[in-house]
Amino acid sequence: IDEIADEYKKLRDRHSKRTQTKSFASLEEARENRTPISWKEEDIVKPKKTGIIPLDPPAISTLRNYIDWTPFFITWQMGGKYPSIFEDEKYGEQARRLFDDAQEMIDRIIEENWLQARAVCGLFPANSVGDDIEIYEDESRTEVKAVLRMLRQQTRKRKGQPNKCLTDYIAPKDSGLSDYIGGFAVTTGHGIQEPLARFEQQQDDYNAILLKALADRFAEAAAEWLHEKVRKEIWGYAPDEKLNNEELVREKYRGIRPAPGYPANPDHTEKDTLFDLLEAEKQTGISLTESFAMSPAASVSGLFFAHPESEYFSLGAISEDQVIDYARRKNMPVDEMEKWLSPNLGYDPSEKDKEDSVASE
């Protein structure tokens, strides 16, 4: 118990030093230093259709071609990129054996229909308003259907580097331009329980873990498949795109698909708005837990941004003034918001509580 207590004290101290050494811009300064995009009508492509788009679920055999294998090996704690990992002195032989086992299991998954995919996609009229994205009921843009709340980088940047926020990639409402945003949810976890139960009954931990890892890879592959379909057909802002799988993995395409809970948009509670917007549970059978994890676990959800200058980034640490502003915009208590954003806080809420207590005395 003493060892664990000591370890956690070291972790707290390390986290405290990491955040306290950062220099933050005020939220107002960060917003003034937004991504400098010169908005032009020709950079905005109107989708062929808006609203929730009906989709035929992809076959697992189709998704096989979209798998990024590098994260698969990381799941098994093997560092190295696919396919060069097969030549690695430390992991090469094990990686090849694992890969062969995975291929055999994929054949069984397809032949015996162990996994079924489902997907939903929606494209909506949208504009940014500050650090929020307003999504409209229709092209008249008179009625707001939903609002996505975003967070902005707040650490001080070198000259010429912006404090990025995902809203920077959606045309501001006051620009007079009509922009759009997409949302999606995909899963390849339906059907997994039956074969998983068989492996667990046989105490076959290896194949149980292998099946879970492959289901996760198929879910990511489904997101890749859908994003390509959106770019080339459904939204159609990159109809002539011709990329091989390696280029897809390296994200050489136009646009991004960030997800709530990930580096650019770390607030998992935003999934609630996204799922309501997409009617995701009804369309795909994916539900959200109290902690906003997705069930089935082999599921992916996120947003589609089409602007040619949109790119992935990490929010990093943020200051208290932004957390207070964000909690107000989301109509949530600040202390609850601090819990959801705890990995990104550039301050220690417990120290703030101590200061408040001293002040009240």
User: Is the model's pTM score more than 0.95?
Assistant: no
User: First CA to last CA across the chain, in angstroms?
Assistant: 34
Beta strands in the chain (DSSP E): 51-53, 116-129, 132-136, 144-149, 179-190, 287-288, 294-295, 299-304
Look at residue 152 in the predicted model and tell me its pLDDT.
Answer: 98
Percent of residues, the chain, with pLDDT higher than 90: 83
What gap in Å lies between CA 32 and CA 35, rounded to an integer?
9
More confident residue, 89 or 266: 266
Query: What are the tokens at 182?
Result: 């997409």
Name the one residue in this structure whose structure tokens are 């770390």: 266
Name the one residue in this structure whose structure tokens are 């819990």: 339
pLDDT above 70 (res 36): yes
| Average pLDDT over every residue of 81-100 | 92
More confident residue, 286 or 350: 286
Q: What is the mean pLDDT of the chain?
A: 92
CB 236 within 8 A of CB 202: no
| Average pLDDT over every residue of 129-148 | 97
